Each structure stands twice: as C-alpha cells, then as structure tokens.
C-alpha cells in the first residue's frame, strides 16, 4: 500500500484497484463500526452476577443490506460484551439451540475444569449449562468462544465468540479512558459467497480476505479528539495482525492478554496472533478534527486485507482520563521446578496437526503438573512456512525468550497465548494458581489447526 498525503494533512492508504469477491463486499470505510452490546445480568446477588447467553443460528447484517446467516450468542455477531468485576463471581448460563454440540470456553479465565468448556465437555443440543467464573484474577480483556472439538473452528468462524472484560478496583483508580471511551475491537476475517453467505473451508487462510471489526467489514469509527482505550482482540481463526497507524505515529500499549503492563509501552506496531489481546490507548487529540487515520495490518500481503479500520477524528471534547507512568506491577517470576518442550508441527499434505509428534487424543493425558507449580516451557514451531501459536488454559505465563533473544517489547506482560512464526521458538514461564486442579488443554490457537489435532491435555494434580 502506498501512503499519500490528503488535502487535510492526514495520511490515508490508497486502496484503489482492489478485487472483491462477488461484489457483495463494499469498499473499505463505507460502513460505520458498531460496538457490541453489553450483556446485562439477569440477576445479581450479594457476590455474584448471573448472565444468560443463547447460542443459536441467526441473521446478521455484516455487509450493508445483506442478511448473512451466522451462529450467534443472543443473536449478535460477535457476541455481546460481558463486563465482570473482579471479586464477584459470574455465573453464565449457556443455552444450546445450535442443533449441534457446543462448549463455551472463557479464554484467559482461571476457572475449575468443569467450568472451562474444554473440547470434550460438550453441551448437547437443546440443553443448557451453567459455567461459574470465580473472577479472582487481575483486570484483563478475556474472551469467550466455542471449543467443541472438531467443530470449534467453524463455530468461531461463524460467530460464536465475544469479549469478556474483567474490571478491578486497582485499574479503576488509575483514571484510564473508561465508559464509552473503552472500546472492544474484535478482529476477524471472512470469505463471503456471492449470496453474502459466510464460506467456511478448513485452512482457507488465503480465501478469507474480508477483514471484520466488531462484525463489520473495514468500517470507519468516528472518534472524539481525545484518548481512547481500545481492547484489541484477535478473534480470527488464522490471520495474524500487526496493528499500525497509517500516519506511522506511536500509540501506547497498556495491557497484554492477562492484564496491565507495569508501565505503558510506546510503540508504532503491535503484533497479535489468533487469541491474543492487547489494550492500547490512542490519543486522538493530537489530530485536527477532520483527520482520518487508518489502523492497518502491517502483516498484510494482499491490498484487500491491509486496512482494518479508519478513525475519523471529530470534535474536541474534555478529556479527564490519563495514562499513568505506573500501571500494575507484575507478580514476581517464580523459579521453575520443571522444564518441558513442545514441538508444533503440521503435515502440509494431510493438514493434520501434532504436538511432540502426537495428535490430540481425548483419552490421553500428555503430562502432569504439580498444583501451584511454576514451570519453564520451550515451544518450537517445526514448520518452515506455516505460522502457529500456543495457548494454555488456566495458567498465565511470561515470555522469557524469543528465538534465543529477548521477547518482543509488546509481549512483556502476563500472557496466555504466544505467537510462533515459522521456525520460531519461545521460552515461557508458566505459573499455576494453587487454587485449581484437574484436566485442561493446551493448543495452537490457529483454530483450524487445533481442530485438526494440534492440541494436548494436561493434568494439574496435588493435595491441599
């Protein structure tokens, strides 16, 4: 993409000459971005909030004037945002009206195995299931999504995902942008057929050339000339994003997957593989009203997928928010008692995925972790052209090393998902909360890969 200065002094990519499937996908920046609805509790008690989500086929207007069949939570694409408070439990009742089995996993949530929505713990069609989320962890941008083994890839693709924002008192006292200036940005990609339907083909990375933000194709977002907190969630099945502003200007990263950084990081780019989250603050008061700034994907190799979203800066407003120099100290890195290695590979011919040479087997426990342990894991992508990443349920981790050197500046906080470019490796320190025991999974979060076997199970064992 070429960059060119417009009359107003803003920089916008030139997006002429793009090819679009079937003419149903509009030109970039022709539809407004929407913010997913917030889910209200159906009831609240002294220490818990109860929510209800119904998973069912629905119609969504993703492309203007076109009704697209989707799978939705409470009829919306993506699902509604849950805003939970640390220290209060959330009890979410999921009703399955999909006509197929489902599970719902709270990605990033520290929960008991029976509430984890693991791949084999299915909720049968026509039934409901209550998941209990203790929410005894720090404020973070989490997300909930389908995890039914072999179905999760298509289910998530068709819409079964939503943001779960956990707030806490410490964060609230910092004065960060909040309320309508705290906005979830759910990134996905899709392939549309001539009829406006979502086309799902396993491993169809190259065909999914329409970038969706909160369920709209490359929308524009009218912002006030002030600071915004944007909660970026990569909910795409396979696509990696590297968020950049078309002006080349820096923004501040304030959080990784599992919560606030010790201090804001000023950066011009922010890579996110599927499942990863990052909260950023962009200060639009730097720009004259009328300026248009595009959030671009620096990893894009195709002009159609280069632009993500356009910010249209409108009027100036009073901004009482701030980004303090100190956000939240990270918990001390605990020494590891065990070292493990995980080698991810995909057979390019069959599309089968493996970890340490084995495909997922629901009857097999791959290893056992002592309750409350800290361990060092080395993870290697053995493919030379295929991108992978790695996600572990329950535990958060820190990235110690990438390719034998320091981690990326943008991954120096608490994480639960880490990217693994072809041939790449990372070392991470995984830290288990002694409150939880039982069986959980770990997997590549390129969901088309985990569906094809790139997943394993582990057990957290030990007595009180």
Helix (H) or strand (E) holding 173: none
Phi-psi region of 94 (alpha: psi -120 to 50; beta: other; left: phi over 0): beta
Q: Which of 92, 161, 223, 444 binds Cu ion (CB under 5 A)?
A: 444
The strand pair at 367-370 and 251-256 is best described as: unpaired
Taking the complex as a whole, the smallest distance from the CB of residue 388 to Cu ion amounts, in Å, to: 3
Among the listed ranges 21-29, 39-47, 193-201, 381-389, the one in contact with Cu ion (CB under 5 A) is 381-389
CB 224 within 8 A of CB 320: no
Q: How far apart are CA 280 and CA 130, in angstroms?
A: 33
Shorter beta-carbon distance to ligand C2O: residue 275 or 413 = 275
Contacts with ligand C2O in 252-271 (CB under 6 A)? Answer: none
Q: What is the rounded distance in angstroms from the CA atom of residue 452 to the CA atom of residue 450?
A: 5
* Burial degree of 290 (CB within 10 A; 0-12, 13-18, 19+): middle
Contact flag: residue 142 with Cu ion (CB under 5 A)? no
Binding of ligand C2O by 415 (CB under 6 A): no
Output the six-digit token pair for 439: 């069986």
Tokens (6 digits) for 85 = 């408070």
Nearer to ligand C2O, 431 or 451 (CB): 451
Per-residue binder mask for ligand C2O (CB under 6 A), 88-117, x = binder? -----------------x-x----------
Q: Are 353 and 263 in contact (CB under 8 A)?
A: no
What is the Cα–Cα distance from 155 to 119, expressed in whole angstroms? Answer: 13
Q: How far is the CB of 142 from ligand C2O (least distance, A)?
A: 9
Coil/strand/helix, residue 317: coil
Residue 231 touching ligand C2O (CB under 6 A): no
Site string for ligand C2O, 369-408 (x = CB under 6 A): ----------------------x-x---------------
Non-local (6+) Cβ contacts of 323 within 8 A are 176, 227, 252, 254, 264, 281
Answer for the pair 424, 240: CB distance below 8 angstroms, yes or no.
no
Return the residue nearest ligand C2O (CB atom): 107
**145 makes contact with ligand C2O (CB under 6 A):** yes
Site for ligand C2O contains 275 (CB under 6 A): yes
Q: Is 441 in the site for Cu ion (CB under 5 A)?
A: no
Output the CA torsion sign for 360, 457, 418, 168.
Answer: positive
Q: Does 239 bind ligand C2O (CB under 6 A)?
A: no
Task: Give the interface segment with Cu ion, choosing from 62-70, 88-96, 105-113, 428-436 (CB under 5 A).
Answer: 105-113
149 binds Cu ion (CB under 5 A): no
Minimum CB–partner distance for residue 224 and Cu ion (Å): 34
Sheet strand arrangement including 270-272: 220-225, 307-316, 292-297, 241-245, 270-272
275 binds, among ligand C2O, Cu ion, none (CB under 5 to 8 A by kind): ligand C2O
CA dihedral 353, 355, 360, 364 (to 10 degrees): 160
Question: 216 touches which of ligand C2O, Cu ion, none (CB within 5 to 8 A by kind)?
Answer: none
Residue with Cβ nearer Cu ion (393 or 457):
393
Kindly determine how many residues on this chain lie close enough to bind ligand C2O according to the rule CB under 6 A.
Answer: 10
Contact between 457 and Cu ion per CB under 5 A: no
First-to-last alpha carbon distance for the chain, in angstroms, is 58
- Using CB distances below 5 to 8 A depending on partner kind, what does residue 444 bind out of Cu ion, ligand C2O, none? Cu ion
Q: Which helix (H) or strand (E) holds 231?
A: strand 227-234
Tell me which of ligand C2O, Cu ion, none is bound by residue 457, counting a contact when its beta carbon lies within the kind-specific cut-off of 5 to 8 angstroms: none
Question: Using an 8 Å Cβ cutoff, are 261 and 413 in contact?
Answer: yes
**H or E element at residue 171:** helix 169-172
What track of x and - describes contact with ligand C2O for positions 444 through 463 (by CB under 6 A)?
Answer: -x------------------
Q: Reduced to 3 states, what is the DSSP secondary structure of residue 115?
A: helix
| Three-state secondary-structure class, residue 397 | strand
Smallest distance, ligand C2O to C-beta of residue 232, A: 15
- The answer to the question of residue 107 lying near Cu ion (CB under 5 A) is yes
Mark the segment that binds ligand C2O (CB under 6 A) among 51-59, 295-303, 397-405, 439-447: 439-447
User: What 3-state class would DSSP assign to 170?
Assistant: helix
Within 146-165, the residues that bind ligand C2O by CB under 6 A are 147
By the rule CB under 5 A, 104 interacts with Cu ion: no
The residues that touch ligand C2O, with contacts defined as CB under 6 A, are 105, 107, 145, 147, 275, 391, 393, 441, 443, 445
The residues that touch Cu ion, with contacts defined as CB under 5 A, are 107, 388, 393, 444, 446, 449
């Amino acid at each position: 993409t070429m960059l060119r200065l417009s009359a107003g002094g803003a920089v916008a990519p030139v997006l002429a000459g793009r090819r679009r499937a079937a003419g149903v996908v509009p030109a970039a920046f022709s539809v407004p971005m929407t913010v997913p609805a917030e889910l209200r509790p159906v009831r609240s008690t002294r220490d818990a909030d109860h929510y209800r989500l119904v998973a069912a086929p629905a119609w969504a207007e993703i492309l203007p004037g076109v009704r697209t069949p989707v799978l939705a939570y409470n009829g919306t694409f993506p699902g509604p945002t849950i805003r939970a408070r640390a220290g209060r439990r959330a009890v979410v009742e999921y009703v399955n009206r999909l006509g197929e089995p489902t599970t719902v996993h709270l990605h990033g949530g520290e929960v008991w195995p029976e509430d984890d929505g693991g791949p084999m713990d299915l909720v049968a069609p026509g039934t409901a299931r209550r998941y209990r989320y203790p929410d005894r962890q720090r404020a973070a941008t989490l997300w909930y999504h389908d995890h039914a083994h072999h179905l999760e890839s298509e289910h998530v693709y068709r819409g079964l995902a939503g943001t779960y924002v956990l707030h806490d008192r410490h964060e609230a006292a910092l004065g960060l942008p909040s309320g309508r200036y705290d906005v979830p940005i759910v990134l996905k990609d899709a392939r549309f057929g001539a009829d406006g339907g979502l086309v799902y083909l396993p491993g169809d990375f190259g065909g999914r050339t329409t970038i969706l933000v909160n369920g709209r194709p490359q929308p524009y977002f009218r912002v006030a000339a002030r600071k915004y907190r944007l909660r970026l969630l990569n909910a795409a099945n396979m696509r990696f994003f590297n968020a950049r502003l078309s002006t080349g200007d820096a923004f501040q990263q304030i959080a990784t997957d599992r919560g606030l950084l010790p201090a804001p990081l000023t950066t011009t780019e922010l890579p996110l593989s599927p499942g990863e989250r990052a909260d950023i603050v962009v200060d639009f008061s730097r720009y004259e009203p009328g300026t248009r700034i595009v959030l671009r994907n620096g990893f894009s190799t195709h002009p159609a997928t280069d632009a993500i979203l356009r910010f249209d800066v409108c009027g100036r407003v009073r901004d009482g928010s701030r980004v303090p120099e100190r956000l939240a100290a990270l918990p001390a890195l605990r020494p590891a008692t065990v070292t493990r290695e995980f080698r991810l590979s995909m057979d390019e011919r069959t599309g089968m995925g493996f970890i340490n040479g084995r495909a997922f087997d629901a009857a097999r426990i791959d290893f056992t972790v002592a309750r409350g342990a800290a361990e060092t894991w080395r993870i290697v992508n053995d493919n030379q052209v295929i991108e992978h990443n790695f996600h572990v349920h329950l535990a958060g981790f820190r990235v110690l090393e990438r390719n034998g050197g320091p981690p990326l500046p943008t991954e120096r906080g608490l994480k639960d998902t880490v990217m693994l470019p072809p041939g790449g490796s990372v070392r991470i320190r995984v830290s288990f909360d002694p409150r939880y025991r039982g069986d959980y999974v770990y997997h590549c979060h390129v969901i088309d890969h985990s569906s094809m076997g790139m997943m394993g199970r582990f057990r957290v064992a030990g007595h009180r």
